[in-house]
C-alpha cells in the first residue's frame, strides 16, 4: 500500500470512527421534532445527512403502506411523508438496523382504534434494561411493558412521537405492533443520537437516596427519596419487631417506572406492632420481578417515648408513668387478652409526669394482655404488651 492509499484509508477509518463528532444531532424534542425529516417507507436503506448513519429496515408480518401521512401533536404539524408503513395486526414488526450504535431515535405513530400498543426492544448483545420509551404527545397514551412500550387507549385517532432511548446503545431495534383495532401509520424520524464507540449502561437502577421515618402518637410515617429509577414497578414496605425475625409486608407503593430526577415517597403505618422499637425496610420490585432491599431503619414508638408501663411481667399491681405535655386530659385504658376479652377504665391525667397504679390488674386472669391508652380525642398514646403471671 503506497502512502497516498494509506492516508486515504486512515482518513476513511477516522471518518467512520469519529462520525459522532463530525455530525451533530439531538434527540427529538418539542422544539425540533416538527422540522425533522420523516423517512418514507420506500426510502430504505436511508442515509441520514445530519448524522452520517445509514438505516435499513426489515419487515415482518405482511406490512403494507399508506399515503397522506399528515398528523399534528399539540397543535404543531409533523412533516409529511409518502408512503409510510401501515400496521394493522399483532403479527407485524419492523427491525431497524443502524450503521452504528444509537442511543436515541424516534418514530411517529398514529393509533386509530381504542387499543393500539407499540413495543420496542434491543436486538443483539448488550444490556436491555437501559431501554425506555417516552411520548411527546401523551393525551390518551400510557407507558406499558416496564417502560419499553406505549398504549393508546382512547377514541378516534391520536398521533404521538415516541422517543426510544437506550443508554447502552445498539445498532438493531425491533419495533412490534399489537393493533387490536383498525391499525396505525408508522414512520421513522431523522433525529437519531449516535452513541460513543464503547457505550455502557449509564442509567442507574433504582437508587434510594434516603430512607427515614418519624413516630407520632398512633402511627409511624416513613419517607424515602429515589435519585434515579429504572423499570421500577413498586415498593413493598416491611416491618419487624426485632430486626432479626422475618419481616412482614405492611403495604405497597407504586414506583415511577423510569426516572432520572429526585422522587419523594411516603407510607403511613397505622397498625404499629406493640414493641418499643419497630424495624422497617423497603423491598423494591422491578417489572421483571427482580428485587433489592434498602437499609433497615428503627423507629421508637412515640407512645413508648411518652410513657412507661411496669413491671412486665406482673404478678399483681401495675404502674403507669405517663407524660402529658398539653394539659389536663382524660385517658381510657383498655386491657385485651388473646381471646379478645377486654376490660376498660378511665383515668384523669394532669400536665406533667403522672404515675398511676392499676389496682384492678391484680384481679385479671393470668395471660398476655395488650394494653392501649387513648386520650379524649381517641388518639393512641401508648400500645404495649404485658404478661400477667
Q: What is the per-residue pLDDT across 28-72, written as a single tens digit (0 to 9) for each?
A: 666 677 778 889 999 999 999 878 899 999 998 888 898 877 677
Residue 388 has φ and ψ, to the nearest 5°, of: -105, 115
Give SS3 for 198: coil
Measured CA angle at 142 (ends 40, 111), to 5 deg: 35
The conformation of residue 271, written as its DSSP 8-state character, comes to S
Judge if pTM exceeds 0.75: no
Q: What is the mean pLDDT of residues 108-126?
A: 76
Give the largest CA-CA distance in the chain: 109
Higher pLDDT, 153 or 217: 153
Question: Taking a C-beta distance cutoff of 8 angstroms, is the pair 258, 147 a contact?
Answer: yes
Distance, in Å, from the CA atom of 10 to the CA atom of 8, rounded to the nearest integer, reads 5
- pLDDT value, residue 235: 95
Give SS3 for 254: strand
Give SS3 for 199: coil
Torsion angle of alpha carbons 266, 272, 275, 280, nearest 10°?
-30
- pLDDT value, residue 305: 46
**408512503: which residue's cell?**
83
- pLDDT value, residue 265: 94
Higher pLDDT, 281 or 134: 281
As a whole number, the mean pLDDT across the chain is 77
Give SS3 for 321: strand
Our measurement of the distance from residue 42's CA atom to the centroid of its chain's CA atoms, rounded to an integer in Å, reads 39
Flag whether pLDDT at 3 surpasses 50.
no
What sections of the chain are H helices per DSSP?
A: 3-17, 19-22, 302-305
Distance, in Å, from the CA atom of 342 to the CA atom of 337, rounded to the nearest integer, reads 6
Q: What is the mean pLDDT of residues 143-169?
A: 78
Give SS3 for 145: helix
Question: Taking a C-beta distance cutoff of 8 angstroms, is the pair 284, 273 a contact?
Answer: no
From 98, 124, 104, select the one nearest 46 (Cα to Cα). Answer: 98
Q: Which three cell numbers stand for residue 294?
A: 434498602
The conformation of residue 51, written as its DSSP 8-state character, comes to T
**415498593: which residue's cell?**
235
Higher pLDDT, 222 or 73: 222
> CA-based Rg of the chain, rounded to a whole angstrom?
32
Our measurement of the distance from residue 91's CA atom to the centroid of its chain's CA atoms, rounded to an integer in Å, reads 30
Note the pLDDT tens digit of each residue in 261-319. Answer: 788 999 988 765 445 678 899 999 888 778 888 888 888 765 544 456 777 777 777 77
Note the pLDDT tens digit of each residue in 371-382. Answer: 888 888 888 777
Q: How confident is the model at residue 111 (pLDDT cuts 50, 70, 90)?
A: low
- pLDDT value, residue 12: 36
Task: For residue 352, list its beta bridge partners.
Answer: 324
Flag whether pLDDT at 114 surpasses 70.
no
- pLDDT value, residue 306: 45
Note the pLDDT tens digit of each residue in 186-199. Answer: 899 988 888 764 44
Amino acid at each position: 500500500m503506497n502512502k497516498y492509499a494509506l492516508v486515504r484509508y486512515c482518513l476513511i477509518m477516522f471518518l467512520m470512527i469519529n462520525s459522532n463528532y463530525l455530525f451533530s444531532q439531538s434527540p427529538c424534542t418539542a422544539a425540533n421534532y416538527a422540522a425533522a425529516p420523516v423517512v418514507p417507507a420506500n426510502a430504505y436503506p436511508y442515509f441520514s445527512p445530519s448524522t452520517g448513519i445509514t438505516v435499513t429496515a426489515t419487515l415482518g408480518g405482511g406490512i403494507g403502506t399508506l399515503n397522506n401521512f399528515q398528523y399534528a401533536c399539540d397543535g404543531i404539524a409533523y412533516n409529511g411523508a409518502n408512503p409510510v408503513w401501515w400496521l394493522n395486526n399483532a403479527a407485524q414488526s419492523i427491525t431497524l438496523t443502524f450503521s452504528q450504535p444509537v442511543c436515541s431515535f424516534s418514530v411517529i405513530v398514529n393509533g386509530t382504534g381504542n387499543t393500539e400498543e407499540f413495543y420496542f426492544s434491543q436486538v443483539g448483545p448488550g444490556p436491555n434494561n437501559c431501554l425506555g420509551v417516552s411520548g411527546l404527545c401523551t393525551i390518551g397514551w400510557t407507558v406499558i411493558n416496564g417502560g419499553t412500550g406505549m398504549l393508546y387507549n382512547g377514541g378516534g385517532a391520536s398521533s404521538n412521537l415516541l422517543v426510544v432511548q437506550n443508554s447502552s446503545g445498539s445498532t438493531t431495534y425491533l419495533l412490534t405492533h399489537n393493533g387490536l383495532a383498525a391499525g396505525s401509520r408508522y414512520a421513522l424520524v431523522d433525529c437519531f443520537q449516535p452513541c460513543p464507540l464503547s457505550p455502557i449502561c449509564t442509567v442507574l437502577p433504582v437508587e434510594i437516596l434516603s430512607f427515614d421515618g418519624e413516630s407520632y402518637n398512633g402511627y409511624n410515617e416513613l419517607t424515602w427519596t429515589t435519585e434515579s429509577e429504572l423499570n421500577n414497578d413498586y415498593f413493598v414496605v416491611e416491618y419487624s419487631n426485632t430486626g432479626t425475625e422475618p419481616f412482614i409486608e405492611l403495604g405497597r407503593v407504586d414506583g415511577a417506572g423510569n426516572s432520572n430526577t429526585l422522587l419523594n415517597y411516603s407510607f403511613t403505618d397505622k397498625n404499629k406492632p406493640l414493641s418499643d422499637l419497630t424495624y422497617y425496610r423497603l423491598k423494591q420490585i422491578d417489572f421483571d420481578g427482580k428485587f433489592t432491599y434498602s437499609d433497615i431503619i428503627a423507629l421508637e414508638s412515640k407512645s413508648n417515648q411518652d410513657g412507661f408501663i411496669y413491671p412486665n411481667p406482673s404478678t399483681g399491681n401495675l404502674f403507669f408513668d405517663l407524660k402529658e405535655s398539653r394539659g389536663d386530659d382524660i385517658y381510657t385504658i383498655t386491657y385485651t387478652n388473646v381471646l379478645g376479652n377486654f376490660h376498660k377504665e378511665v383515668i384523669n391525667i394532669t400536665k406533667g409526669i403522672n404515675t398511676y397504679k392499676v389496682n384492678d390488674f391484680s384481679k385479671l386472669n393470668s395471660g398476655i394482655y395488650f394494653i392501649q391508652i387513648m386520650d379524649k380525642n381517641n388518639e393512641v398514646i401508648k400500645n404495649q404488651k404485658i404478661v400477667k403471671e
